[in-house]
Amino acid sequence: MSHGAQGRRAVPHRALGAGTITPITARLLDRIERHYEAAGKPPRIGIATGFVPRAELRILERRGYAPVGDEGVLVYTYDRARPPAPIDGDGLAIERITAKDARLYARTGFASFRERGSGFVDVIAALIRSGRRGIRAYLGRMDGEPAATGMLFDVGIVGALGNGSVLPAFRGHGLQKAMIVHRMREGWSRGQRMFFGETENPASARNMESLGWRQLYTEIDWARTS
């Protein structure tokens, strides 16, 4: 999810849940389009391939929407009987971030999310301080140096993983897998028994699959093309 700069309303770069959480109707599209028009952005809608009824896709098509982009977002779940075993990286220490270090965390993650704009640091830091959705942010340090980030969101008994990143200088040493497992085990200790995550990165997808995650669907953006 990308956000606007501080001082403006944060706007996701695509609307999620259309056709799955709520049916796609003309009324829903009116609301989505008004929302993005007020934000000065073109509407984009994330569609869960294979899960949205064909009749609802036709409503999008009649409205002038069509799939855009060559690649989608890979959406994964983990629902095995137990979490993966801990991964102890040589020199790696993972700490939960408090409000005091929210900007340090956000600046570390920004190195991997620069395309999301200069407001990324402000929005992520504010999100950590807010504690919304039981959010927990974790910073991985290699020999004391900030190296990796990752968040865990509470959705009832479900844990959602997001905002995972590893600084370029520390890639290729298993940090991402260690950060994924750490968050899963933290969630498991709090009663979460299912996890969700998404990625557009094939290397990240392989890491998730090697830990026992399975792909649910590919999420494709639809936008107005006519």
- Please, what is the average pLDDT of the chain? 90
How confident is the model at residue 116, as a pLDDT? 74
Largest CA distance in the chain: 56
Tokens of residue 50, six digits = 């294979």
Q: What is d(CA 28, CA 42) in angstroms, rounded to the nearest whole number?
A: 16
Taken in order of first residue, the domains within the chain and their CATH numbers are: 1-73+217-226 (no CATH), 80-192 (3.40.630.30)
How confident is the model at residue 13, as a pLDDT? 74
Which tens digits make up the pLDDT trace of 150-161? Answer: 999 998 889 999
How confident is the model at residue 14, as a pLDDT? 85
What is the torsion angle, in degrees rounded to the nearest 10, for the CA atoms of residue 211, residue 156, residue 138 and residue 183? -20
Q: Which one, of 131, 147, 132, 135, lies nearest residue 94 by Cα?
A: 147
Intervals of the chain under pLDDT 70:
1-12
The dihedral sign for the CA sequence 43, 111, 167, 137: negative
How confident is the model at residue 150, as a pLDDT? 97
pTM value is: 0.83
How confident is the model at residue 157, as a pLDDT? 86
Q: What is d(CA 226, CA 214) in angstroms, rounded to the nearest whole number?
A: 36
